[in-house]
Structure 1
Amino acid sequence: MGPTVSVPSACRAPAPFGRVILVMRRAQFLRLLGWAGFSLACQALPARSSSAAARSSLPSPVRVRDWARAHGLTVRWLETHRRLQLTKGGLQLVLQANSREAFINGVRVYLLCPFEYLNPAGYLAEVDVQRTFGPFLEPPRLPQKQRMEHICLDPGHGGKDTGYRIGTTEEKRLTLALAQELAGLLRQAGFRVTLTRTRDVYLDLEERPRLAQRAGADLFVSLHFNAAAAGAGQVRGVETYCLTPANASSTANPGRISVAGPFPGNQHDLFNIRLAYALHQAMVRGLPSEDRGLRRARFAVLREASMPAALVEAGFLSHPVEGRRINDPAYRRRIAQELARGLQAYRELVHRP
């Protein structure tokens, strides 16, 4: 039989009657056909068959070869790494077989459901086609008279909430320092900037996006530094989050949905992922850190945002080397410079003609 695919429960569709029998009868044929001829199959095989689609465990499965053809994507199977590469112009998508890990122009992005490889076909969940890859094939843009000029920066933690603490280092002080550095760079670039806090005060999580709304901000960016659990001190790298689409699994909890939404922040799903990607790409390309991926989560500050929003984890304070760098004002300025570049790239994207 073909490879076994472990699919999170939230990404599973009910198994149709007779499915196991169908798979066993076709197994030898499917093994012979193999993935080596995938790009040829994309051109030569007939349109999607209901019997093949019935094998997928994904909700509303979309056959990748049909989707690629519809969008003019060139397909190439990379057998060594068991990855599928799809390209069109300057866009490159790479899907890892039977995994939620994908790459968009070299930047790691976690899918909402696995790319399911069922020899010789591959499937994506419809929610990933629409909410993960859709905004890259057809980028969202603002109406002609609407401008993205006012950014609300949210320094994480504050007051009684110190965030991660090691020795005399407190995350709440470093996020405020980063926000102030970034605010200065953004104002130089012509943006209006509001901070949810300018001193060491405690704010409820739900209050932070409300402050952005009252200020009339066009974007909300929450700034944090990360920390690994005890015994995992070698974990390092940058992560960026946007809100999980309604009824989908968050990256850290595959297959489990505690609160499914939709939330106010979900009205900006297409903009959210492009904002998070712009910030994450800038950090990955400009900082000496590891790419831990663009991820989805239902953090309160993202759920309640009435404008496009993202949350940045700009490195691990718990890592001995990365932690020392983050404590260095010169390195925090580098982080701020990359985030400013990312925000300018996002502005150019949504303002394009």
Structure 2
Amino acid sequence: IADFLNKKVITLDSDNIRQWHDPGFGEDYYYGFFWGGMPDLNFDNPKVREEIYDIGRFWLEEVGVDGFRLDAAKHIFPDDRPADNHEFWKEFRAKMEAIKPDVYLVGEVYDKKEIVAPYLPGLPALFNFDFHYTLLEAMNEGDGMLLPKKQKEILDFYQEITPEFIDATISSNHDQPRLLNELGSDSEKYKQAISILLTMPGAPYLYYGEEIGMKGLKPDEHIREPFLWEEKEKDTGRTSWIEPKYSIDGEVTPLSLQRKDPKSYFNHYKTLISLRNSYPALAIGELVLPEEDFPKSIMAYYRKAGEQEIFVVHNIAKDQVSLELPRGFEDVIFGLGDGINSSGKLTLEGNSSRVYLKK
């Protein structure tokens, strides 16, 4: 028992080094993976599992939700029981699909792909944390093909397990510093990072506030600061549960003003979402890596669905760079920043992107 009580192990999603806690009597201990104020349920007890399934039934049948985002999915049972976690989610999925056959389940398994993959039979959509971290590394190091190659590796890996998986891509979430902070508050890099997210394969998730460029750093409370709907004196919808430190007026432009500005972050998101919804190759197409060699700062990839083929290219560095466009790609359907196509030779300025539709 002492070995369990004194176990000091941290994980990617928790720096808590004590999982068993004394309620104050010095005899019996309770399990709380994240901290003592959050006791874990005992899922070995069939009555506990049935209560969880009944809660799911309530939300699906009586409230009418379409599905669930399932947090900390690998911590149903202690970390030395991963197989039990996998089996629980398969059972959970079966119970929910019996209530609503098209229920949507997306899970958070905060780990590398080899740990994430066995959860796919129970959770058909899983957040891709590798995408988040590789996007940041690529943008900050100017290594263009790092992300497309990593994403292709992940997609191929999951495809071998089940072709029905849904790759839930993210640029940030409620546990990471805000994307704009991670990119040094560089608005050009920020817009380009979103252009990458929304032209890559997967089901992209947008963390609230990213659409207006909210800021935030650890601790977690300051990554979750109140949304800025209006200018402060007019903002009756702004919550007041915390005094914001990063997403404040003067640092972040509220939504009401961004709606009116065609160059705002908000309208940049709208443009890219509309683009993605307009072209099946972007929304559901496969990812194909180019065979050509490009300068280091060029991130390039093809998206294909049926007869539709799209070529996406980003210059993720600050310096101008040139490349030869693949044959047949002349029609620009999206552009970010400055660039010139001269007889098939494309010159892109720093943090500029182009999306081409093949004739």
Q: Same fold (TM over 0.5)?
A: no
**Structure with larger Rg:** 2
- TM-score norm. by structure 1 comes to 0.28
- TM-score norm. by structure 2 comes to 0.28
From the two aligned structures, give the one with the greater strand fraction: 1
